[in-house]
Amino acid sequence: MSLNWREIDRVLDELPLVDCHVRKIVQPDFRNLVFECFRPGESFHLLVCLEPRACRIHRTSWAPKTGGRRQRFEQLLRSRLQGGRITSVEHVNRDRIVCITVRRSGETLLLWIRLWGPAANALLTDETGTIIDACFRRPGKNEVSGGTYAPQARTSAPQPSTSSAAAHPASPAAHSAADDFVVRELPGEGDFNARLDRHYRGEASAQRLKLARERARRDLAAEIDRLSQRRETVQQRLREAEDDTRFQRFGDLIMANLHAVAPGSRWLTVEDYESPGNEVTIELDERMSATANAERYYRRRKRAAAARGHLEQELQQIDRALAETQARLASVDTEQDPLILEAAVGRAGAGRGGAPGGRESTPPPGLSFSSGPFRILLGRTAKENDELLRRHTRGNDLWLHARDYPGAYVFVKQIPGKSVPLEVLLDAATLALAYSKGKGDGDVYYTPVKYLRRAKHGKTGTVIPTQEKNLAVRVDSNRLARLRGSAPPA
């Protein structure tokens, strides 16, 4: 609920604004202005809020942080009012319009603050009423640079200042007397300004909690749908995966019947040792020897087993992420801290590929692990390594690779303002060794992604690291099991 005219009078009566100097002006968002006012022996912050449902002006204990890109209107007020002295403050016509006159460097300017719900605005004019600029530019009302602003005298009683209040005073039939308005009795200690500040900050906190819950429910539900669809896709790929045991059997049967394979044969029909009395026909490459054909089937068995293993690992990770997201969704209604809810939304966003505007627009390929609050990405093939490097990592993310062995690229996603702890580094290095040709203890080198250089005319994903550091690692089976999810987190 916005302030009515009596409450505005009460606020201004309590504030010693005249002869205060405007020390600093901050516009933390589109609808709020904070003035730091100073006079000998006293300093306070004045809040001007232009929210349609909570238009108000009062002293506040909120001191917004400065920095970042400044709003257009804030830059104007800083250049024309900051450092000036307030010479007068007037509640114009008791019509919820406050005019603050500021004199600076021989120039007198007027800041008009109109607290009219949806039509709320702040305008800076010169002494003649010519508009220098407005917080909200409204050409239809001539509230633009060069226009004229001159509030008209009231012709009816002051109107209620609620979220549904009209932009202009309503007819006298709505309220026939100014006595219809009262100053609210707000709980707590302190003057009316202090109680207003606590009241609206409490309302803002409740609104923030409500919005955080709504967004958390929406985003977590979307994340569950995304994970469920991804799970179905992986399950389908598992069903379609080649049977690696069949290739092993074919290779064994060829090796057991080398004498029966004639040079240039296209087919081999022999008795199946797994089903005595039944024959099985095996396709051969006529350009290869019998032994080479057996080796070809063994290689196919290895590839099929590796592909199935990757899919099974991915399915386990999806199941863990799905259970975690469902648990977070179930806790949304009982959580009272909006920061925790906003963090839950952030984690859901990370699962979809990061915040809006980030490089990731699709889920990253390969495998994903968690090490404390850090996220570790792992590419299992040259194509996955290249995709991760191109689309899912940034310059300050760490890259790790087993030294002297071909293997996976491992990336530790950077958290702004945090360095990567040794335990997280050891987790990532263990994965780099486990998913390399070495598979045992060894050296891992690492460097930020920004120090990787692509090898000219090299194979897909080939990079040359610079400024790398070395880490000697002994593979810990318990650590590896924890990372793969086969043991409870440490």
Residue 4 in this model has a pLDDT that exceeds 50: yes
Coil, strand or helix at 185? coil
Tell me the CA distances in angstroms from 61 to 43, 86, 196, 236, 249, one per residue in order.
11, 21, 11, 58, 78
Residue 129 in this model has a pLDDT that exceeds 70: yes
Amino acid letter, residue 114: R
Coil, strand or helix at 489? coil
Q: How far apart are CA 332 and CA 339, in angstroms?
A: 12
Q: Which residue, 431, 414, 435, is CA-closest to 471?
A: 431
Tell me the CA distances in angstroms from 10 to 4, 7, 176, 237, 456, one per residue in order.
10, 5, 22, 71, 74
Percent residues over pLDDT 70 in the chain: 89
The domains of the chain are located at 5-170, 209-349, 353-490
Q: How far apart are CA 21 and CA 38, in angstroms?
A: 5
Region 448-476 average pLDDT:
85
Q: Tell me the per-residue pLDDT of 329-384, one tens digit each, with 9 for 90 and over.
A: 888 888 887 777 777 665 555 544 444 334 444 678 888 888 877 889 999 888 88
Residue 22's H or E segment, with its range, is: strand 21-29
pLDDT number for residue 170: 44
Q: Which CATH architecture has domain 5-170?
A: Roll (2.30)
Q: Which contacts (CB < 8 Å, 24+ apart) does range 360-366 have?
A: 360/391, 360/392, 361/391, 362/391, 363/226, 363/230, 364/388, 364/391, 364/392, 366/408
Q: Tell me the per-residue pLDDT of 22-31, one tens digit each, with 9 for 90 and over.
A: 999 999 888 9
pLDDT number for residue 310: 79
Candidate from 190-204, 207-221, 351-365, 453-467 with smallest mean pLDDT: 351-365
Most confident of 73-87, 208-222, 373-387, 451-465: 73-87
| Exposure of 73 in the CB half-sphere (CA atoms within 13 A) | 22
User: Residues 6 or more apart from 204 whose CB is under 8 A from it?
Assistant: none
Residue 356's CB is within 10 A of a number of other CB atoms, namely: 8
Confidence of residue 164 (pLDDT cuts 50, 70, 90): very low
